[in-house]
Amino acid sequence: MNFKWKKRYTAAVIAAIVGAILTVLTYFATDIYQKDEVALITDSQIKDTLIEKNEDVYKNQDQTREHILHLKVLSGKHKGEKYTTKNIYYPSQLTTQKYRAGQRIFVNIKKGDPAIVNPKRDWVLVMVVTIMVALMIAVSGMHTIALVVSMAISWALFYLVIVWDVHLNGAHIILLFGLADIVLSFFSLLIVQGFNKKMLATWLATVLGIFVSFALCYVIMHVTGESEMKYETGDYATQDPRGLFLAQTLIGILGAVMDEATDIISSLYELIQTKKDITIRQLVHSGRTMGQEIMGPLINVLVLIFIAGALPETILYLRDNNTLGSAFGFTLSLGATQSVISAIGIVLTVVFATGCSLLFVKDKDWKSLFRREGENK
């Protein structure tokens, strides 16, 4: 193992150790929270009582159970005080929570009555981020800094877009998220790749893939009168559901298209650098072949992610004796439409990324490239 790899793995181990320490500190942290107080369930074994067995007309069975919890408050003005409270929950845990002995939870105490808010899970988030950063360092080395900064800026920009959308009360939402796609993709690529021709080519291919596929699908939806588009089935509250669906679609296309454009253009760039006598036909053929290899797995990943997100609600609909067609309409139709639009973007991006890779060819080399094309024919 050379020195470079030793240095990288050493940094990954250090990051893992630091993250583990932060995870432990977060787990035991109590006085950093302002809104709610932290309490510890002191029971070694929680008394669990069956209150009622439930069964609906479709023979779906559940139970109503009761916990008796003994709590010790660890923070706030009630620190050190002990309370006993009840927790009603259903084993399905769809809308309720089952608690464990020794678990730390957030509580809101009013007039001597502690109301359980939710479990204390922030340390789990710190642990997951630690694992992610340690693995990124092991694989990418110092490039991890740019990746983490890129993610942080993307989150910050996305938050600002959401705040702006709320301020505008949903007005011009498609324009807003269209601009967000342009800005998010630009800064993500700029930080990771730097400002160079490869970054600009990748950004151009990404923008073309997003908006050409979105415009194509928007025209199709308009021509068909948006038939069978059940916008009312989305989890929307106060804004135009159609606008939010289209905004979701724009963000969804961005993730798939930028990933593919980066892979294809980076690979073709290296190919041009290492094979100086490559012809335009060979370059285009390489881009098409690479796209064919990437398209299938990337589209499958999108579909599987969508199915995973919709699976719980779909099961609930089917268990309530709904038909497959009805369950699909209420839980899967909008997500399936978004997956198809993203898939179209993935296919079109192969063309755009391959075309944008021609920007790597220097002006003085075009004449020789065309000459070699003629010789190969």
Query: Residue 355: which residues within 8 A CB-CB, separation 6 or more?
Result: 205
In this prediction, residue 90 has a pLDDT band, given cuts at 50, 70 and 90, of confident
Place of tokens 């709904």: 322
Of 83-87, 250-254, 355-359, where does mean pLDDT reach its minimum?
355-359
Of 104-108, 129-133, 287-291, 303-307, where does mean pLDDT reach its minimum?
303-307
In this prediction, residue 362 has a pLDDT band, given cuts at 50, 70 and 90, of low
The 8 Å CB, 24+ separation contacts for 141-148 are 141/4, 141/7, 141/8, 141/11, 143/192, 146/191, 146/192, 147/192
Length of the chain measured in residues: 377
Helix (H, G, I), strand (E, B) or coil at 194: coil
> How many CA atoms within 13 Å lie on the side-chain side of 195?
1
If you average pLDDT over residues 338-355, what whole number do you get?
Answer: 90
Give the number of other Cβ atoms within 10 Å of residue 7's Cβ: 12
If you average pLDDT over residues 83-103, what whole number do you get?
Answer: 86
Of 141-145, 149-153, 252-256, 368-372, where does mean pLDDT reach its minimum?
368-372
Number of H helices, E strands in the chain: 10, 6
Q: How far apart are the first and last CA of the chain?
A: 47
pLDDT score of 7: 82
In this prediction, residue 364 has a pLDDT band, given cuts at 50, 70 and 90, of very low
Q: What is the dihedral of CA 155, 158, 163, 166, to 10 degrees?
A: -140
Please indicate whether residue 275 or residue 23 has the higher confidence score (pLDDT). Answer: 23
Question: Looking at the predicted structure, is the pLDDT value of residue 132 above 60?
Answer: yes
Task: Give strand pairing partners of 85.
Answer: 69
pLDDT score of 363: 47
Q: What is the mean pLDDT of the chain?
A: 84
Please indicate whether residue 347 or residue 370 has the higher confidence score (pLDDT). Answer: 347
pLDDT score of 14: 92
Report the share of the chain in percent with pLDDT over 70: 92
Query: Residue 73: which residues within 8 A CB-CB, separation 6 or more?
Result: 37, 38, 39, 79, 80, 81, 82, 83, 107, 109, 114
Would strands 113-119 and 47-55 be described as parallel, antiparallel, or unpaired? unpaired
Burial class (CB in 10 A: 0-12, 13-18, 19+), 194: exposed
DSSP state of 65: E
Query: Residue 317: which residues within 8 A CB-CB, separation 6 or more?
Result: 326, 327, 330, 331
If you average pLDDT over residues 291-308, what whole number do you get?
Answer: 85
- The tokens for 238 are 């106060």
In this prediction, residue 208 has a pLDDT band, given cuts at 50, 70 and 90, of very high
Please indicate whether residue 80 or residue 369 has the higher confidence score (pLDDT). Answer: 80
If you average pLDDT over residues 161-169, what whole number do you get?
Answer: 86
Place of tokens 């583990």: 20
Alpha-carbon torsion (322, 328, 332, 333), positive or negative:
negative
Please indicate whether residue 141 or residue 137 has the higher confidence score (pLDDT). Answer: 137
DSSP state of 29: -
pLDDT tens readout for residues 225-256:
877 777 776 665 566 778 888 888 888 888 88
Query: Which among 182, 329, 176, 173 has a CA at the least distance from the CA of 241?
Result: 173
Of 79-88, 110-119, 321-330, 346-355, where does mean pLDDT reach its minimum?
321-330
Q: How far apart (Å, rounded) are the C-alpha atoms in residues 187 and 178?
A: 15
Q: How far apart (Å, rounded) are the C-alpha atoms in residues 336 and 349?
A: 20
- The tokens for 173 are 């939402």
Helix (H) or strand (E) holding 204: helix 197-223
pLDDT tens readout for residues 19-71:
999 999 999 988 888 888 899 999 888 888 888 887 777 777 888 888 889 99
pLDDT score of 130: 94
If you average pLDDT over residues 172-183, what whole number do you get?
Answer: 90
Place of tokens 């929270």: 33
pLDDT score of 131: 94
The answer to whether the CB of 137 falls within 8 A of the CB of 12 is yes
Q: How far apart (Å, rounded) are the C-alpha atoms in residues 338 and 306?
A: 9
Report the share of the chain in percent with pLDDT over 90: 20
The answer to whether the CB of 19 falls within 8 A of the CB of 133 is yes
pLDDT score of 15: 92
